[in-house]
């Protein structure tokens, strides 16, 4: 997915800064859905930015820190200037995403166990919202809008699957890339070398250990063979780039 192209298209109806921010928030949510990464703030941030987008479309201005629940439950449906698809349907989907984020452990620790189905629903709803915004981008040629909407609706391939407590990386990538994606799904926790080797059992153990050592030398990983490894901030950024490249190619 071309992030810059998507943001440019949305700029036809949104403030360019908001268009870029909403697109970035959606890409983060899409990335989390593809790697089954829970307890991140991306669903809530997407909805908050979407509320700002609705405010801008209705009034030409937006609040720096909008009251999301108040706006989506009490104010949005009275914004008669907005098209019904956004005012009614998209706003209710956004409220659903926000509810999942707050109540279903996508972003917070609580008694409800993390649920990848909740994350999948949040992503699908966000994709629908993005498509609806694109349909209302009056300055975008119909063909361009159609291409972008079609890309939004392509299912996200699951890059990481958990089976019996073991996470498997499903991606046509190098050993280095597989390690980065695996540790990204656990970030910021450490992963024992034994668990990394089990996950990557189709790879040569020696090659995996060599890549771990190289990544540590490059300061993309922190840890050792006894305590396990976790991504550094630089390593996390490298993992995000790896995932983004895979999603673009999907």
CB 208 within 8 A of CB 195: no
What are the boundaries of each domain within the chain?
3-152, 161-249
Q: At 209, is the pLDDT very low, low, confident or very high (cuts 50, 70, 90)?
A: very high
Q: How many other CB atoms are there within 10 angstroms of residue 98's CB atom?
A: 23
Cis peptide bond N-terminal to 188, omega within 30: yes
Examine the pLDDT at 114 and tell me if it is beyond 90: no
Q: What is the mean pLDDT of residues 21-34?
A: 86
Examine the pLDDT at 161 and tell me if it is beyond 50: yes
Domain 161-249: state its class.
mainly alpha
CB within 8 A of 103, min separation 6: which ones? 110, 112
Which is it for strands 166-169 and 221-224: parallel, antiparallel or unpaired? unpaired
Examine the pLDDT at 115 and tell me if it is beyond 60: yes
Examine the pLDDT at 71 and tell me if it is beyond 70: yes
Q: What is the mean pLDDT of residues 20-33?
A: 88
Examine the pLDDT at 193 and tell me if it is beyond 90: yes
Q: What is the 3-state secondary structure (H, E, C) of the chain?
A: CCHHHHHHHHCCCCCHHHHHHHHHHHHHHHHHHHHCCCCCCHHHHHHHHHHHHHHHHHHCCCCCCCCHHHHHHHHHHHCCCCCHHHHHHHHHHHHHHHHHHHHCCCCCCCCCCCCHHHHHHHHHHHHHHHHHHHHCCCCCCHHHHHHHHHHHCCCCCCCEEEECCEEEECCCCCHHHHHHHHHHHHCCCCECHHHHHHHCCCCCHHHHHHHHHHHHHCCCEEEECCCEEEECHHHHHHHHHHHHHHHHHC
Nearest to 95 by CA among 59, 113, 122, 117: 122
Examine the pLDDT at 202 and tell me if it is beyond 70: yes
Q: What is the mean pLDDT of residues 78-96?
A: 93
State percent of the chain over pLDDT 90.
Answer: 49
| pTM of the full structure | 0.65
pLDDT of residue 155: 60
pLDDT tens, 138-156?
A: 666 767 777 777 666 656 6
Q: Which CATH number fits domain 3-152: 1.10.1220, 1.10.8, 1.20.120, 3.30.70?
A: 1.20.120
pLDDT of residue 41: 60
Averaged pLDDT score across all residues of the chain = 85
pLDDT of residue 111: 47
Examine the pLDDT at 110 and tell me if it is beyond 60: no
pLDDT tens, 43-69?
A: 889 999 999 999 999 999 999 999 999
């Amino acid at each position: 997915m071309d992030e810059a192209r998507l943001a440019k298209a949305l700029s036809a109806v949104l403030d360019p800064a908001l268009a870029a921010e909403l697109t970035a928030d959606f890409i983060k949510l899409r990335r989390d859905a593809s790697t089954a990464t829970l307890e991140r703030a991306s669903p809530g941030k997407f909805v908050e930015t979407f509320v700002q987008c609705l405010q801008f479309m209705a009034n030409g201005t937006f609040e720096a820190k909008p009251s999301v629940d108040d706006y989506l439950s009490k104010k949005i449906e009275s914004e008669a200037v907005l098209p019904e698809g956004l005012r009614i349907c998209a706003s209710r989907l956004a409220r659903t995403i926000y509810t999942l984020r707050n109540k279903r452990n996508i972003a917070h620790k609580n008694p409800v166990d993390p649920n990848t189905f909740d994350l999948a629903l949040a992503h699908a709803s966000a994709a629908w919202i993005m498509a609806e915004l694109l349909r209302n981008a009056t300055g975008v040629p119909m063909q361009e809008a159609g291409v972008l909407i079609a890309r939004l609706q392509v299912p996200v391939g699951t890059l990481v699957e958990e089976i019996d407590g073991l996470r498997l990386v499903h991606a046509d990538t190098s050993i280095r890339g597989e390690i980065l994606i695996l540790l990204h799904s656990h970030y910021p926790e450490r992963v024992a070398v034994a668990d990394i080797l089990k996950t990557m059992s189709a790879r040569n153990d020696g090659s995996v250990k060599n890549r771990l050592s190289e990544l540590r030398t490059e300061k993309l990983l922190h840890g050792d063979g006894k305590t396990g490894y976790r991504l550094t901030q630089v390593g996390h950024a490298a993992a995000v780039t790896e995932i983004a490249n895979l999603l673009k190619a999907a």
